[in-house]
């Protein structure tokens, strides 16, 4: 069934690409339009106050133009955000603390380190849990409980405690994102490692395979698809962890620090630009994991 | 094979308890265990219990092991009261701790190996194992922190946290009320409700749904917590800004999941509704919503943890002088880590209770779903 509006006109046969993408395009355009209207309405008062303070006469057109180009608007218009984003990304040398690329890189390095630590720890836990029934029964409930705890609340202490034993900079942030992102990996890999059928496990046993052989030849290959699904979830969580870890530490660099500085100095456009940067990073990271997934699937002989 | 391995383990634990009686307790001068007759007796009894646990049937063995572990925990905690031992403990102290660890591990392993008959029994065992495990982890934390003399400023023992937790209920209640009731709960209800309503409308108008689903999926993958500073700027420092962050965070998972759930009703059921001549509202109420229930609860569960995180992050950007996130960042800066941990315990309990209530509600309303019909 195609969408209502399109299917009711049988004489026009729309190409499938249009049918698929038209609703998304319309929704996105509508959201942008709503954004502009909201920007005009929300910034109206600030701009009007500004005009009246200066005592200049103004028309409605001036007012609307003012709301869309205000320096510290309540809600910046999309084009302002894009312009600031582009300027922050391309307008400065990469090493300058004013460049968003520099801040993104700081956050990204913590994200990667945290992701590697978290995913490694998650896989390690999953392997332990699959092989020791006691651990499954005793540890797994606590791991699940740990996720109902607002873990970010722990972030400041992790920073303080690690700082007092001399660990500063990248590692505390990475540990926080690792703590946040290990859980999906553990759950996914446990599911994956226990996904082989009993028949397949029995077959391995009739071949008198050792535990290690069963693991490498049966359990691990069948866990790989589960692993990548979890990795895609956990790399965005890792990014969130890295950003949030920069908040209570008063970090000087990073996307979280950008957000914090923007909120201190009322630089709304800067906050939005940092948000755009974070979103671009998130999409890029997921894309990266998907690429690796496809590559690994090809290595393992998947047919595409 | 494994049985004899467990037997050796218990005997090693018993031997460890015995040896600990003659090894010095502390690097400072302190009376040995022979000058503390009650503790000596308890240590010997524990050794006997562990040795006994090695040779009897599993059920009795578990009971003996648990009794021995409790007794030994009491002995070591009693020893820590002595200021010449706390912080200066040596092998005479650590041996029984390690022996207890071994015995506790074996006891839990045996408990996990039991195949109970009734449903209640298996449920009780599945509850007891993580509880015993957790209690022992807290014991190890307490003993390790105090035995090694870790400064409480860095890592307070659980006892200090518990004292702080029960010692200042008023402060905790105020923080809980500010962050959880006002911020999280308000935002959660508005966000989930709005997501649900938009999903129902989007399901009614297919064009809208087809456009919203990819957009919602896209936004769900973004680090939305980043809107926290904007919301604080728009709604001020008090709880409305926290609730607003929670609304934004919970909206999209709810929208996407409800939409997926509403689309989960099968063709045959839809045809059946049509052949009954059911109207839009009736079909929604009798078919689509029940089919979407598991998906909706999935979103409610995801959101219950997301909401809390959102509210606490929003408090990092500015709060009135009350709230869990505020207290944690302030007290962490003052190195009053027992308060920080008490707040974390509060947040943990609230988070688990929140999740537990949603899970219970799910069981009560979707009991018919295949995943519960075991």
Identify which of A137, A151, A247 has the shortest CB distance to residue B129: A137
- Whether residues A1 and B308 touch (CB distance < 8 A) is answered with no
Q: Percentage of chain A surpassing pLDDT 70?
A: 90
Asked if the C-beta of B317 comes within 8 angstroms of chain A's C-beta atoms, the answer is yes
Q: Smallest CA–CA separation between A282 and chain B, in Å?
A: 6
A92/chain B closest Cα distance in angstroms: 23
Cβ atoms B299, B257 nearer than 8 A: yes
Confidence of residue A249 (pLDDT cuts 50, 70, 90): low
Cβ–Cβ under 8 Å, residues A261 and A267: yes
CA distances in angstroms from B78 to A111, A291, B93, listed in the order given: 45, 58, 11
Structural domains of chain A ordered from first start? 4-75 (no CATH), 100-299 (1.10.3720.10)
Answer whether B122 touches A (CB < 8 Å): no
Q: Do A141 and B130 touch (CB under 8 A)?
A: yes
- Nearest neighbour of B313 by CB, restricted to A24, A159, A244: A244
Q: What is the pLDDT of residue B305?
A: 81
Q: Is A22 helix (H, G, I), strand (E, B) or coil?
A: helix
- For residues B304 and B327, give the distance between their C-alpha atoms in angstroms, rounded to a whole number: 21
Question: Nearest CB to A3: which of B206, B313, B318?
Answer: B206
Query: What is residue A113's predicted lDDT score, i.e. its pLDDT?
Result: 92
Mutation target to probe the A interface, by most A beta carbons within 10 A, among B179, B226, B353, B357 is B226
Asked if residue B106 lies in contact with residue B49, where contact means CB atoms within 8 angstroms, the answer is no
What is the pLDDT, as a whole number, of residue A119? 93
Nearest CA in chain B to A162: B154
**Residue B130 vs residue A13, higher pLDDT:** B130
Burial of B81 (0-12, 13-18, 19+ CB in 10 A): exposed
pTM for this prediction: 0.79
Q: Does B267 touch chain A (CB under 8 A)?
A: no
Cα–Cα distance for residue pair B189/B183, rounded to 1 Å = 10
Average per-residue pLDDT in chain A? Answer: 82
Contact B317 A247 (CB under 8 A): yes
| CATH number for the domain whose boundaries are B166-365 | 1.10.3720.10
B62 touches chain A (CB under 8 A): no
What whole-number percentage of chain A has pLDDT above 90?
Answer: 7
pLDDT digits over A38-91, tens only? 888 888 777 788 778 877 777 777 777 777 777 778 888 888 888 888 887 787
Q: Which residues of A touch B184 (CB under 8 A)?
A: none
Name chain A contacts of B232, Cβ cutoff 8 Å. 263
A266 vs B230: CA distance, rounded Å: 9
HSE at residue A286, side-chain half, CA atoms within 13 A, is 17
Distance CA B304, CA B192 (A): 10
Interface residue of A17, A138, A287 to substitute, partner B, most B CBs within 10 Å: A138
CA distance B68 to chain A (A): 20
Domain boundaries, chain B: 2-150, 166-365
- For residues A248 and A159, the answer to whether their CB atoms sit within 8 Å is yes
Residues in chain B with CB shorter than 8 Å from the CB of A35 are: none
Which positions in chain A touch B307 (Cβ < 8 Å)?
none
Chain A residues touching residue B338 (CB < 8 angstroms):
none
Q: How much is the pLDDT for A248?
A: 66
User: Which residues does chain B have with pLDDT short of 70?
Assistant: 1-3, 370-374
- Residues contacting B280, CB < 8 A, separation 6+: B204
Contact call for residues B180 and B353 (beta carbons, < 8 A): no
- B26 three-state secondary structure: strand
**CA distance to B343, B362, B374, per residue, from B371 (Å):** 36, 11, 7
- Cα gap B151→B163, rounded to integer Å: 17
Interface test with A, best of B110, B211, B335, B344 (most A CBs within 10 A): B211
Q: Do A259 and B214 touch (CB under 8 A)?
A: no
* Contact in structure between B130 and A137 (CB atoms under 8 Å): yes
Residues of B in contact with A268 (CB under 8 A): 230, 233
| H helix runs in chain B, sequence order | 2-20, 37-53, 58-80, 91-113, 119-147, 158-167, 169-176, 186-204, 206-220, 228-235, 239-262, 267-275, 280-283, 289-316, 324-333, 337-365
Are the C-beta atoms of B372 and A169 separated by less than 8 Å? no
Is the C-alpha dihedral spanning A107, A112, A118, A122 positive or negative? positive
- pLDDT, one tens digit per residue, over A205-245 is 899 988 888 888 888 888 888 888 889 888 988 998 888 88
What mean pLDDT do residues A286-295 have?
Answer: 90
Q: Hunting for tokens 């009322």 — which residue is that?
A: A266
d(CA A155, CA A249): 9
Task: Please check whether residue B303 is in contact with residue B362, taking contact to mean a CB–CB distance below 8 angstroms.
Answer: no
pLDDT at A15: 80
Burial tier of A260 (Cβ tally within 10 Å: 0-12, 13-18, 19+): buried
- On chain A, the residues whose CB falls within 8 A of the CB of B341 are 157
Please answer yes or no on whether A248 and B316 come within 8 Å at the CB atom.
yes
Tell me which residue of A152, A281, A3, A27 sits closest to B255, measured CA to CA.
A27
Residue A4 has pLDDT above 60, yes or no: no
Tokens representing residue B134 in the block: 């957790």
A209 touches chain B (CB under 8 A): no
A 10 A CB-CB count for B324 gives: 28
Name the residue among A31, A157, A240 with its Cβ closest to that of B225: A240
Report the alpha-carbon distance of residue B108 to residue B254 in Å, rounded: 40
Using CB atoms, pick whichever of A3, A26, A147 lies closest to residue B305. Answer: A147
Quick check: B344 contacting A, CB < 8 Å?
yes
Q: Which element (helix H / strand E) includes A26?
A: helix A16-54
What DSSP string describes B57-111? -HHHHHHHHHHHHHHHHHHHHHHHTSTTTTTTB-HHHHHHHHHHHHHHHHHHHHH
Instruction: Count interface pairs A-B at CB distance under 8 A.
Output: 164
Residue A263 and residue B308: Cβ atoms within 8 Å?
no
Minimum CA–CA partner of A274 in chain B:
B226
| For A161, nearest residue in chain B (alpha carbons) | B154
Dihedral sign of CA atoms B65, B66, B71, B77 in order? positive
- Residue B24 three-state SS: coil
Alpha carbon distance B180, B173 (integer Å): 10
Cβ–Cβ gap B223/A243 under 8 Å = yes
Sign of CA dihedral A109, A112, A117, A118: positive
Q: How would you class B48 by CB atoms within 10 Å of its CB: exposed for 0-12, middle for 13-18, buried for 19 or more?
A: middle
The encoded tokens of residue B82 equal 């002595």
CA distance B35 to B12: 25
């Amino acid at each position: 069934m195609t969408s209502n509006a399109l299917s009711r006109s049988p004489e026009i046969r729309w190409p499938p690409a249009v049918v698929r993408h038209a609703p998304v395009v319309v929704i996105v355009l509508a959201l942008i339009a709503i954004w502009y209207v909201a920007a005009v309405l929300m910034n109206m008062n600030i701009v009007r106050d500004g005009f009246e303070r200066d005592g200049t006469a103004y028309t409605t057109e001036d007012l609307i133009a003012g709301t869309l180009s205000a320096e510290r608007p309540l809600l910046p218009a999309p084009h302002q955000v894009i312009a600031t984003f582009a300027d922050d990304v391309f307008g400065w040398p990469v090493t300058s603390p004013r460049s968003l690329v520099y801040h993104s890189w700081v956050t990204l390095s913590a994200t990667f380190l945290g992701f590697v630590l978290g995913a490694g720890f998650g896989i390690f836990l999953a392997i332990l849990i699959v092989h020791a029934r006691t651990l499954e029964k005793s540890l797994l409930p606590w791991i699940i409980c740990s996720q109902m705890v607002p873990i970010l609340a722990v972030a400041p202490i992790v920073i303080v405690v690690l700082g007092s034993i001399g660990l500063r900079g990248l590692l505390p942030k990475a540990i926080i994102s690792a703590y946040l992102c290990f859980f999906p990996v553990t759950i996914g890999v446990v599911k994956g490692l226990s996904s082989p059928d009993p028949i397949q496990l029995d077959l391995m046993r009739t071949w008198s395979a050792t535990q290690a052989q069963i693991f490498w030849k049966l359990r691990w290959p069948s866990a790989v698809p589960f692993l990548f699904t979890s990795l895609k979830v956990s790399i965005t969580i890792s990014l969130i962890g890295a950003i949030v870890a920069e908040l209570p530490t008063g970090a000087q660099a990073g996307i979280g620090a950008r957000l914090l500085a923007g909120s201190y100095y009322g630089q709304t456009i800067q906050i939005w630009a940092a948000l755009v940067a974070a979103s671009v990073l998130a999409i890029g990271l997921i894309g990266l994991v998907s690429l690796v997934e496809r590559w690994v699937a090809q290595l393992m002989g998947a047919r595409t | 094979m494994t049985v004899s391995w467990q037997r050796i383990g218990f005997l090693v634990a018993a031997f460890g308890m015995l040896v600990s009686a003659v090894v010095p307790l502390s690097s400072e001068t302190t009376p040995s265990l022979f000058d503390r007759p009650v503790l000596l007796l308890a240590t010997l009894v524990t050794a006997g219990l562990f040795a006994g646990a090695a040779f009897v049937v599993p059920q009795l063995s578990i009971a003996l092991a648990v009794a021995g572990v409790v007794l030994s925990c009491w002995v070591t905690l009693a020893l820590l009261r002595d200021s010449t031992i706390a912080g200066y403990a040596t092998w005479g102290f650590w041996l029984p701790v390690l022996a207890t660890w071994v015995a506790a591990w074996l006891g839990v392993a045996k408990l996990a190996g039991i195949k109970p008959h009734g449903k209640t029994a298996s449920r009780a065992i599945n509850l007891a194992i993580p509880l015993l495990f957790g209690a022992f982890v807290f014991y190890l934390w307490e003993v390790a922190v105090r035995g090694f003399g870790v400064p409480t400023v860095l890592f307070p023992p659980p006892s200090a946290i518990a004292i702080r937790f029960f010692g200042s209920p008023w402060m905790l209640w105020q923080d809980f009320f500010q962050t959880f009731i006002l911020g999280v709960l308000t935002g959660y209800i508005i966000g989930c409700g709005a997501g649900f309503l938009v999903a129902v409308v989007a399901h009614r108008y297919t064009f809208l749904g087809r456009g919203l689903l990819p957009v919602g999926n896209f936004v769900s993958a973004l680090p939305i917590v980043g809107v926290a500073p904007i919301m604080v700027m728009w709604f001020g420092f008090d709880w409305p800004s926290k609730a607003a962050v929670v609304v934004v965070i919970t909206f999209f998972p709810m929208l996407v999941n409800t939409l997926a759930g509403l689309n989960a009703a099968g063709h045959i059921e839809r045809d059946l509704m049509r052949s009954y001549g059911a109207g839009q509202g009736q079909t929604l109420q009798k078919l689509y919503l029940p089919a979407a229930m598991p998906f909706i609860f999935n979103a409610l569960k995801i959101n219950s943890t997301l909401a809390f995180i959102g509210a606490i992050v929003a408090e990092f950007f500015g709060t009135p002088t009350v709230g869990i996130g505020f207290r944690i960042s302030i007290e962490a800066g003052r190195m009053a880590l027992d308060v920080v941990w008490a707040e974390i315990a509060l947040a943990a309990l609230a988070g688990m209770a929140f999740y537990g209530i949603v899970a219970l509600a799910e069981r009560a309303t979707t009991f018919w779903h295949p995943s519960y019909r075991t």
